[in-house]
């Protein structure tokens, strides 16, 4: 398998892992289990990285495990970018940016716990996760663009093109619209004005 193929598969895998991690993180919040593991990086501060997988701790720990797997996946993506995608600078930069974001996100996850779910920190955590997901989507799209079936590319181009008939009607409407502010209508409905 060529290096480019490894990179593009890794990009797709990173998107899936990020999506799963975001879903599990949302599950932690909606089930009110954000502090089911009150310590970070272990669950209960006893040095045990494998707590009993029951109740709220299982919900929180599943998110942490998925975040760890995502971090390993993005690290692998960055390594493959450095090894095989130096000629495509956008892919290299985006992959290294994703690595920086995933490290930031992991550390911020610890801050979320240490601040007892302070709303601003939780929102920042979600915002960075959303940006990371967007970057990974772009990387996956760019990495796989050469291998997208031609009919899909043609469909996307057609979908993005403006319908000429609709564009002509919109242009005509713009030309027919009055220029400048309209005078205020001072008439009262139902009352006719009389000139003296």
For the chain, the 3-state helix, strand and coil shares in percent, each to the nearest 5, are 70, 0, 30
Q: What is the pLDDT of residues 3-59, one digit of tens each?
A: 889 999 999 999 999 999 999 999 999 999 989 988 888 888 777 778 777 888 899
Q: What is the pLDDT of residues 53-66, one digit of tens each?
A: 788 889 999 999 99
Q: What is the pLDDT of residues 124-153, one digit of tens each?
A: 999 999 999 999 999 999 999 888 888 988
Is 2 exposed, middle or buried, given 0-12, 13-18 or 19+ CB atoms closer than 10 A?
A: exposed
Task: For residue 18, tell me if it sits in a domain.
Answer: yes
DSSP 1: -
Task: For residue 107, tell me if it sits in a domain.
Answer: yes
Task: For residue 161, tell me if it sits in a domain.
Answer: no
Give the range of the structural domain holding residue 127, as residue numbers without chain letter. 3-151
Task: For residue 10, tell me if it sits in a domain.
Answer: yes
Task: For residue 159, tell me if it sits in a domain.
Answer: no
Task: For residue 190, tell me if it sits in a domain.
Answer: no
CB 48, CB 118: distance < 8 Å:
no
Task: For residue 173, tell me if it sits in a domain.
Answer: no
Taking the C-alpha atoms of residue 123 and residue 89, their distance in angstroms, rounded to an integer, is: 31
Strands (E), 25-163: none
CB 56, CB 64: distance < 8 Å:
no
Overall number of domains in the chain: 1
CB 37, CB 114: distance < 8 Å:
no
Residue linked to tokens 């701790």: 57
Task: For residue 181, tell me if it sits in a domain.
Answer: no
Q: How many other CB atoms sit within 10 Å of the CB of residue 189?
A: 5
Q: What is the pLDDT of residues 81-115, one digit of tens each?
A: 999 999 999 999 999 999 999 999 999 999 999 99
């Amino acid at each position: 398998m060529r290096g480019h193929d490894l990179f593009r598969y890794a990009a797709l895998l990173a998107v899936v892992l990020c999506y799963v991690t975001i879903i599990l993180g949302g599950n932690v919040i909606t089930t009110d289990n954000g502090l089911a593991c009150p310590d970070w990086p272990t669950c209960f501060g006893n040095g045990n990285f494998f707590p009993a997988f029951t109740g709220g701790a299982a919900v929180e720990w599943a998110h942490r495990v998925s975040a760890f797997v995502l971090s390993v996946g993005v690290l692998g993506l960055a390594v493959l970018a450095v090894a095989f995608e130096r000629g495509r600078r956008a892919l290299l930069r985006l992959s290294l940016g994703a690595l920086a974001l995933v490290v930031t996100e992991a550390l911020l996850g610890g801050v979320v716990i240490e601040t007892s779910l302070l709303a601003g920190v939780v929102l920042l955590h979600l915002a960075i996760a959303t940006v990371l997901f967007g970057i990974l989507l772009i990387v996956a799209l760019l990495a796989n663009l050469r291998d997208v079936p031609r009919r899909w590319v043609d469909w996307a181009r057609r979908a993005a093109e403006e319908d000429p008939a609709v564009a002509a009607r919109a242009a005509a409407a713009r030309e027919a619209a009055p220029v400048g502010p309209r005078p205020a209508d001072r008439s009262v409905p139902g009352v006719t004005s009389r000139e003296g």
